[in-house]
Amino acid sequence: MPSTLRAALIVSALLGCTVRATAQGLPSEPVAFAGGRVTVSGDITAGFGSDDTGFFNFTDYEHSALRLFRVDLSTSVALNPHFSLLAEIRDENIETLRAYAFYVRVRPWTDRAIDIQAGRVPPTFGAFARRAYAADNPLISYPLAYQYLTSLRPDSLPWNADELLRMRARGWLSNYSIGNTEPDAGVPLVSAFRWDTGVQVHAASAVLDGTVAVTTGTLANPLVKDDNSAPQVAGRVAAHPIPGLVLGLSAARGPFVSSTAARGAVGDGHDRSFTQTAFGGDVEYSRGYYLVRAETIWSEWKLPSLGAPVIDRPVSALSTYVEGRYKLRPGLYVAGRVDHLGFSDIVGSAGPQSWDAPVTRVEVGAGYSLQRNLLLKISCQRNTRDGGRVTESTLVGAQIVYWF
């Protein structure tokens, strides 16, 4: 049976089950207990798409973003006006429950928009990962910067430029000779599937809001327990100069390579030398029936200079996407996204070449709200890549999202 037909049948079944269950009284708002001090919310995302043999949509947990059944359950407990506990558990494709978020929020002043969060905290960097629900993503896929796996790994390092170039377009399963030599998945520029652990401070006014965080991992590799000798520092500032317009700037820097891999490459005491540094800019404008968003992220990784041909400078990547949504009528919209991820050149034995294979994605789709908190989406994406065993691919998918 063709994959598109299988997708239609599966989503139709899910849709029928969900609509019947909703009619029987599934919640449409967060559920509150204990006089409103305890609230529970969640969302369910079920989708099916084409078989992605090129691994263009592969994620941190080795799932395709087009073939994802995800359940999120969030709880907030307000201990008093100053202290709250927040947690979120998540399961993908009925595998392992994970603590996606678990942190305490402290508000020193109840009349000021200042809070401190500690634990596994929400993202600081960028715009896309800060969106609350899958319903806030007008399409099914994720922007390349937040999902597409590069060939870099924090626990395994290439001996020279040729070894890194051999892994072009192999982010779904790369391997190197230093550190962990077992084949494993690489990392994206910024992970949208894991939150980092640390301390975060947020403050806001009518026009500006800012966030600063110190965490154990990096944007590409968020962690619960640190695997090297220093934390990451990240920050973001956003301006709201006029209604409907948001302008954001982000930055982050922290050690990327694990202590074990760094020790295998250059000995002890060099954990802090091999960092990930990133800068981002984003803009959003909405008015009437349309919404337009754009985001650019530049990331640089410092790797050890070892054998010839030497990787004698940091490797970097630049990602930019532009997306838009237009409401045709109440409950029905069309959307599109153009996305590109490019990489800097390094010099191998055969001459200069980008260290990973540039990728371009164009995706168009539509969404229809069956009710306020029940959304059906369909999309078609075209991927092209300068390398790998699959250099181009057209994929279709359907997804249903329920939240409360």
Half-sphere exposure of 145 (CA within 13 A, CB side): 30
What's the whole-number mean pLDDT along residues 355-371? 97
Whether the per-residue pLDDT at 3 is higher than 50: the answer is no
Phi and psi based region of residue 375 (left: phi greater than 0; alpha: psi -120 to 50; beta: remaining): beta
Question: The domain spanning residue 167 has which CATH number?
Answer: 2.40.160.10
pLDDT of residue 339: 98
Mean pLDDT, the chain, whole residue set:
92
Alpha-carbon span 340 to 128, nearest angstrom:
15
Whether the per-residue pLDDT at 271 is higher than 90: the answer is no
pLDDT of residue 269: 79
Alpha-carbon span 48 to 334, nearest angstrom:
19
Whether the per-residue pLDDT at 268 is higher than 90: the answer is no
Name the amino acid, one letter, at 402.
Y
- Residues of the chain above pLDDT 70, percent: 93
pLDDT of residue 385: 98
What's the whole-number mean pLDDT along residues 253-273? 91
pLDDT of residue 13: 44
What's the pLDDT tens digit per position in 9-20?
Answer: 444 444 444 444
Q: How confident is the model at residue 353 (pLDDT cuts 50, 70, 90)?
A: very high
What's the pLDDT tens digit per position in 233-242?
Answer: 999 999 999 9
What's the pLDDT tens digit per position in 170-226?
Answer: 999 999 999 999 999 999 999 999 999 999 999 999 999 999 999 999 999 999 999
What's the pLDDT tens digit per position in 33-74?
Answer: 999 999 999 999 999 999 999 999 999 888 999 999 999 999
Q: What's the domain range around 340? A: 3-403
Q: How many domains does the chain have?
A: 1
pLDDT of residue 25: 57
